[in-house]
C-alpha cells in the first residue's frame, strides 16, 4: 500500500508542467486580449451573408434545399409550407404560410435573414444551418410557393392529371 502511495505522489508531482508554460496571466487593458488569428471573419459578416449573393438556382440546389427544409422547417411550416406542421398541431403558435401574399412578395434576402436571425417565435438558425444551406432552403421555399398555385393550363400536357 505504501508503495502505491509513493508512486501516486511521484506521478502527481510531475503534473506541474502547466504552471511553468508561457501564458497570458492577466486579461486587462495593460496586457490586452489575445491576438486575433489571421483570416478570421466576424460572426454574421461572411460573404454569403451579403445581399445579392444568392447562388444560381440549380436542380442540385433545390434538392439540397428540400433536404434541409424537411429537417429544419417542416416541424412548424409543414411539407407544403402551409404552416400546419406537427409542432403546430401540438399547440405551438402557427407561423405564417409561405403561400400568403406577404411571404410571396418577400425577397430572397428577407427570407434568408429570417432563417438567419429568427422572427417572432422562430429562433435563429444561424448556428444550425450554414449560409449555403440557408440559400438552398430559400430556393426550395420559392419552388414550394410556385408549386401550389399553378393553373393546369400552364402545365405541359404530360404534367396534367385528368380527373378519374
CATH topology classification for 47-147:
Cytochrome Bc1 Complex; Chain D, domain 2 (1.10.760)
Q: pLDDT category, 118, cuts 50, 70, 90?
A: very high
Residues 25-74 have pLDDT tens digits of 666 555 666 667 676 666 555 444 444 578 999 999 999 999 999 999 99
Q: Which residue has the cell 506541474?
A: 16
Q: Are 96 and 104 in contact (CB under 8 A)?
A: no
- pTM score of the predicted model: 0.64
* Residue 44 pLDDT: 53
Q: pLDDT category, 104, cuts 50, 70, 90?
A: very high
Nearest residue to 72 (alpha-carbon basis) of 10, 137, 3: 137
Q: What percent of the chain has pLDDT over 90?
A: 55
Q: What is the chain's alpha carbon radius of gyration, rounded to the nearest angstrom?
A: 27
Amino acid at each position: 500500500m505504501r508503495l502505491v502511495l509513493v508512486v501516486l505522489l511521484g506521478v502527481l508531482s510531475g503534473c506541474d508542467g502547466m504552471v511553468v508554460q508561457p501564458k497570458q496571466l492577466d486579461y486587462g487593458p495593460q496586457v490586452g486580449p489575445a491576438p486575433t488569428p489571421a483570416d478570421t471573419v466576424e460572426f454574421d459578416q461572411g460573404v454569403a451573408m451579403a445581399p445579392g449573393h444568392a447562388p444560381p438556382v440549380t436542380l442540385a440546389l433545390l434538392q439540397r434545399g428540400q433536404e434541409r427544409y424537411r429537417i429544419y422547417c417542416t416541424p412548424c411550416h409543414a411539407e407544403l409550407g402551409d404552416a400546419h406542421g406537427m409542432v403546430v398541431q401540438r399547440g405551438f403558435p402557427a407561423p405564417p404560410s409561405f403561400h400568403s401574399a406577404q411571404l410571396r412578395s418577400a425577397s430572397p434576402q428577407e427570407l434568408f435573414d429570417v432563417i438567419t436571425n429568427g422572427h417572432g417565435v422562430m429562433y435563429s438558425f444561424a448556428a444550425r444551418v450554414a449560409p449555403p444551406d440557408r440559400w438552398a432552403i430559400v430556393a426550395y421555399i420559392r419552388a414550394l410557393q410556385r408549386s401550389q398555385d399553378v393553373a393546369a393550363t400552364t402545365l405541359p400536357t404530360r404534367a396534367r392529371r385528368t380527373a378519374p
